[in-house]
Structure 1
Amino acid sequence: MRRIFGLALVLVLLAPPAAASTPPGDQPLPGYTINNPPLPPAQVGGEPSRVLQGVHEHAAYTIEVPPRWNGRLAMWAHGYRGASTVLTVDPPAYGLRQKLLDQGFAWAASSYYANNYDVKAGVLSTHGLAKQFHKLVGKPRDTFIVGVSMGGHVIGRSLEQFPGFYKAALPLCGVLGDHELFDFILDFNLAAQAISGVRAWPAPDDYLSAVVPRIQAELGLTGTPNERGAQFAAVVANRSGGPRPGAAPAFAYWKDFVFGLAATSSGEGLATNPGQLATNALTRYEPNAPVDVNREVQRVLPENVRARLTPKLTEVPAIAGRPTAPVLSLHDLGDLFVPFSMEQVYERDVERNGRGHLLAQRAIRAVGHCEFSPTEVGAAWDDLVTWADTGRRPAGDVVDDPAVVAAPDYGCRFSDPAAYTAPNTTRRLFPAC
């Protein structure tokens, strides 16, 4: 017996140390902290709402339930948080928080368990919180999903990852074109280099401080663009959605910013470096004069081909265009952070899969990213709920007919006239409707 005990002791002493265990679900993952201060209850019909906050599966959350809950739930999917190590929670924006509560909806929002461009975290944390809502409040009779920017990527993939789980979806300024967002950023920089004659790819450490100023000088981008600068602006317009109202002021507004997106990767993983999925191998650039950009441009293959092609849920997953519920989207015409072309890519995918009856899209005449008025978002929300309840698809814009999109009044139909005179707006970069 003594020899057996001694042998067991030796084996224990010689065993390798145990790997660090994952913290319990009510704690953030290693490297993250949480900042989710108490949210004061809203007043709904003169009574306070019920607010629940906590941590579930490593993600912070906030849930709010009106005094007379109608049994329906809206999940809010937030946008890109950058490389921050602090997990935070947003309530629904654009006046939606109060609107939802006044209509009897509960809402829930997750920080996701990770930041950076991690759509997988958004898909799983949002779905996990919706299931947790069942335990904390009760099982809703249906669950909607609403979100902004990267949250639109979360929405597009969530509808396919969990088919039938969500009743309807409202992506706002969403990355519905998945990997093609990063193709656009690559196109912007490589086309600028080809047309200017200043080659620098992969972007060196001094890209923004030394290379980009040379490109801008060659193209006249610090003032009135020269002939080659005008060609570059036209290439950008075509790659971001085609000729359309506001394309020229959008280029002037965003050009410096998009150069910066080529030099913002912070690591080797997909979430910290989604640009490794980008390619321009098959891109045809127009106009192709005075510089023959299609001959001169550097062609780049994806660094991570497997991640680009896999159908699996990754940090930057594909969206196949197979929604399983009604989708009503809003997008700013002049947005070049998440360009209007994202809507066109998604529309083509959805139509190819025979699901066009599940998609309605609306163009808004603004240049900012996610620059919507509460009226625009509120009207879209009401129309989405009516669609989900009655099956009657609401009105939308044609997004993939170049002649329609190029019309001077395109985007007027669903743009809020009152927003044109709002302070700090880009609406006045467009002629008034």
Structure 2
Amino acid sequence: MRVRSLAALAALVLASVVPTSAAHADRVPDDQPLPGYTIDNPPLAPVLVHGKPSRVLQGVHRHAAYDIEVPPHWNGKLALYAHGYAGQGFVLTVGPPPFGLRQRLLDQGYAWAASSYYDNGYDVRAGVLSTRDVAELFADKVGRPKQRIIAGVSMGGHVIGRSLEQFPGYYDGALPMCGVLGDDELFDFFLDYNVVAQDLSGIREYPVTDQYATVTVPKIEAALGLTGLRPGGPDTTNERGKQFRSVVINRTGGKRPGDVQSFAVWKDFPFTLATPEPPDATLAEYPAQLSTNLFTRYEPNEPVNVNATVQRVRAANLPARLSNRLSQVPRINGRPTVPVLSLHGLGDMFVPFSMEQIYAKEVARNRRSGLLVQRAIRTTQHCEFSNVEAGTAWDDLVRWIDRGRRPAGDVTTKPSVVARPDYGCRFSDPAAYAAGTGTRRLFPACP
């Protein structure tokens, strides 16, 4: 029994087991899902592109559902969309790019294609292979594109980061949004959250039991003064609760605008990701097999010397963590070969802003920083972007690919820069703030 961390906004209590895909693939027709799965892919209505309807193709290919859409005047270029975590259920779904990108792509002459992936769960390998498969299917059904750009959200960012390294040169550019670019360090953070809260509260339960969420977590939150904490409300945290909040802020990107209010939004959710380990779980079902805090140094380390007292946890599946093979939860090594422009919410504490910092440091170690541009958006919820923010990023990426003009971005790895009051203002949509959309007003107005 160990902490189970599933990188998904909807991951609560998941009791189902995902069928093992590879074991049956050779016995199932290519145009059918793998055993145990069904497909939900209702007809996608064409849209008008400069007054003429698009052409939509849908079906099943290599056990995954797919959608393809081609504008009336195709420019010969293809955008691939990599979706995020779809849960642990047995229904495969697929849909178009979000944030208004579907219409934007078509209006610009781009075709797009998306796959459900052949497997659910946190299966990045399925995303990498199925996205490549639908790109090749597009070449057969429509024509071989002269350019491929891959975009995606959340776990789709993990798919993108690994795809660029698994198939170097296959894609011409990438737009990961709110992406898991720090790979297994996301699951380290989920572990950190629970064991540090237990340590500072003095209420330990690790490995967790079935009563962790209902009995133990309320005691932990009460001991830290978190129970009544609300965004915009009074600060109810006690001394140890303040230390816990600071540790979490540092583990998710460091001191930055909106950090305290964002913690109040997310304070409960990471506890829900700690559940008993199911028997014989795969990596896709239980990514916490990879998580560890053996070498993590927590700051601030006072008033409690948490680094001396916190429970240390070894990776349950160390070979998988160290392996560079294409597993269900593979490593990203920071070796892009094409332009990458990423967006990330500054207050996101589910797939935290630190994912961008980890990736930037890895890319820099490989001397490829010239291929990476990152933008911080002043939002708190996961993948909370406006159409303007995503559309501007797409347009800038396209110009970079086509004309070699590297666009502007934010510095993510210098704490003094990230802590500035105006950090994240440059690429955040002022109209969304003016309208009070979503969590925008948790941040001070930009100067």
- Fold equivalence (TM over 0.5): yes
- Per-residue CA deviation, residues 384-407 of structure 1 (Å, 9 max, x unaligned), is 000001112100000000000000
Residue in structure 1 matching 2:270, options 250, 258, 261:
258
Aligned to 1:249: 261
> Within 5 A, what are the aligned runs for 1:31-180?
31-180=36-185
**Match status 1:301 vs 2:314:** yes
> Within 5 A, what are the aligned runs for 1:33-432?
33-223=38-228, 224-263=236-275, 268-422=281-435, 425-432=438-445
The residue identity in structure 2 corresponding to 1:225 is: T
Looking at structure 1, the residues matched to 25 and 50 of structure 2 have their Cα atoms a distance apart, in angstroms, of 50
Deviation of 1:330 (Å): 0.2
Looking at structure 2, the residues matched to 265 and 20 of structure 1 have their Cα atoms a distance apart, in angstroms, of 27
Looking at structure 1, the residues matched to 376 and 263 of structure 2 have their Cα atoms a distance apart, in angstroms, of 18
- Per-residue CA deviation, residues 361-399 of structure 1 (Å, 9 max, x unaligned), is 000000000000000000000000000011121000000
In structure 2, the CA distance between the partners of 1:82 and 1:69, relative to structure 1 (3 Å rule), is: same
Q: Is the 8 A contact 2:208 2:276 kept in 1?
A: no
Gaps of 5+ in 2: 1-23, 229-235
- Per-residue CA deviation, residues 266-286 of structure 1 (Å, 9 max, x unaligned), is 561000000110000000001
Looking at structure 2, the residues matched to 398 and 277 of structure 1 have their Cα atoms a distance apart, in angstroms, of 29
Aligned to 2:11: none
Looking at structure 2, the residues matched to 317 and 266 of structure 1 have their Cα atoms a distance apart, in angstroms, of 21
Which protein shows a greater Rg? Answer: 1
Looking at structure 1, the residues matched to 26 and 266 of structure 2 have their Cα atoms a distance apart, in angstroms, of 44
In structure 2, the CA distance between the partners of 1:336 and 1:101, relative to structure 1 (3 Å rule), is: same
Name the TM-score, length of structure 1 as normaliser: 0.94
Looking at structure 2, the residues matched to 147 and 108 of structure 1 have their Cα atoms a distance apart, in angstroms, of 12
- Per-residue CA deviation, residues 63-109 of structure 1 (Å, 9 max, x unaligned), is 00000000000000000011121000010000000000000000000
Looking at structure 2, the residues matched to 395 and 216 of structure 1 have their Cα atoms a distance apart, in angstroms, of 41
The residue identity in structure 1 corresponding to 2:388 is: T
Q: Is the 8 A contact 1:167 1:326 kept in 2?
A: yes
The residue identity in structure 1 corresponding to 2:137 is: Q
Deviation of 1:261 (Å): 1.2
Looking at structure 2, the residues matched to 266 and 90 of structure 1 have their Cα atoms a distance apart, in angstroms, of 30
Pick which of 299-308 and 200-209 moved more: 200-209
The residue identity in structure 2 corresponding to 1:386 is: R
- Per-residue CA deviation, residues 263-309 of structure 1 (Å, 9 max, x unaligned), is 27656100000011000000000111111100110000100001000
Q: Percent identity of the aligned residues?
A: 66
Higher helix share: 1
The residue identity in structure 2 corresponding to 1:144 is: I
Partner secondary structure for residue 187 of structure 2: helix
Looking at structure 2, the residues matched to 298 and 77 of structure 1 have their Cα atoms a distance apart, in angstroms, of 36
Q: Is the 8 A contact 1:254 1:336 kept in 2?
A: yes
Looking at structure 1, the residues matched to 26 and 175 of structure 2 have their Cα atoms a distance apart, in angstroms, of 38
Partner secondary structure for residue 262 of structure 1: coil
In structure 2, the CA distance between the partners of 1:261 and 1:20, relative to structure 1 (3 Å rule), is: closer
The residue identity in structure 2 corresponding to 1:101 is: L
Looking at structure 1, the residues matched to 261 and 255 of structure 2 have their Cα atoms a distance apart, in angstroms, of 12
The residue identity in structure 1 corresponding to 2:272 is: G
The residue identity in structure 2 corresponding to 1:219 is: L
Q: Is the 8 A contact 1:173 1:369 kept in 2?
A: yes
The residue identity in structure 1 corresponding to 2:353 is: F
Q: Is the 8 A contact 1:54 1:60 kept in 2?
A: yes
Q: Is the 8 A contact 2:25 2:34 kept in 1?
A: no
Q: Is the 8 A contact 1:22 1:29 kept in 2?
A: no
Deviation of 1:199 (Å): 0.9
The structure with higher relative contact order (CA 8 Å, sep 6+) is 2
Gaps of 5+ in 1: 1-18
Partner secondary structure for residue 269 of structure 2: helix
The residue identity in structure 1 corresponding to 2:200 is: I
- Per-residue CA deviation, residues 332-368 of structure 1 (Å, 9 max, x unaligned), is 0000110000000000000000100000000000000
The residue identity in structure 2 corresponding to 1:255 is: K
In structure 2, the CA distance between the partners of 1:266 and 1:60, relative to structure 1 (3 Å rule), is: farther
Looking at structure 2, the residues matched to 283 and 393 of structure 1 have their Cα atoms a distance apart, in angstroms, of 35
